[in-house]
Amino acid sequence: MKNVVQDLTSAGIDWQREKWQSGLGSKFIHQGEKNAAKYADEVIVLSKGVQDYFKETYGRETHFIPNGVNRPQIREAKLITDHFGLEKDSYILFLGRLVPEKGIRYLVEAFKNVKTEKKLVIAGGSSDTDSFMEELKELAKGDDRILFTGFVQGAMLDEL
């Protein structure tokens, strides 16, 4: 009888994420990863980095199937101008979950030392890390070029 196929739909190694570091969460997720590597008939990963990790850590071959994305509709900058005062080519965009492991604090720290008229637009939600979001806002305080939009979708996302 075959094992259940394990689908690892993670773009990263979840047990290493900061949000799981307190309590048993990290150990539980790590054990699940080990079990998947050892017992699953097939393992699917979403990134080349995770594929390399499974090969190096467990000697396990995996199937790389990247997430699909829809091409955004190219839109004239209207909503972003009305809501945030942004014009085409006037900003640098970070778009993603605002979590420590993405290194956003380094981006904010580095940007504060760059002499530019461009803005740094940080678009995304906090994903269980509201305290990290507050840490970022505190770090950005005093630099009015750094803008937090929160979670964006639809036409606003397309414009950005």
Domain at 139, CATH number: 3.40.50.2000
Measure Cα distances from 48 to 51, 85, 97, 139, 156 in Å.
Answer: 5, 37, 20, 32, 30
Judge if 12 and 59 occupy the same domain: yes
Express each pLDDT in 46-67 by its tens digit.
888 888 988 998 998 988 888 7
Q: Are 17 and 128 in contact (CB under 8 A)?
A: no
- For the segment 29-48, the average pLDDT, to the nearest whole number, is 81
125 compared with 15, residue with greater pLDDT: 125
In a domain, 16, yes or no: yes
Express each pLDDT in 83-125 by its tens digit.
999 998 999 999 998 888 788 999 999 999 999 999 999 999 8
Judge if 59 and 109 occupy the same domain: no
Judge if 13 and 50 occupy the same domain: yes
Q: What is the reported pLDDT for 17? A: 63
Q: What is the reported pLDDT for 140? A: 96
- For the segment 66-88, the average pLDDT, to the nearest whole number, is 86
Judge if 154 and 84 occupy the same domain: yes
Q: What is the reported pLDDT for 142? A: 93
pLDDT band at 42 (very low <50, low <70, confident <90, very high): confident
User: In the chain, how many domains are there?
Assistant: 2
Judge if 95 and 47 occupy the same domain: no
pLDDT cut 70: percent of the chain above it: 82
142 compared with 127, residue with greater pLDDT: 142
Judge if 91 and 57 occupy the same domain: no
In a domain, 70, yes or no: no
Strand 91-95 relative to strand 63-64, pairing: unpaired
In a domain, 41, yes or no: yes
- For the segment 128-132, the average pLDDT, to the nearest whole number, is 77
Range of the domain at 31: 6-64
Q: What is the reported pLDDT for 59? A: 92
- For the segment 64-91, the average pLDDT, to the nearest whole number, is 87
Judge if 89 and 120 occupy the same domain: yes
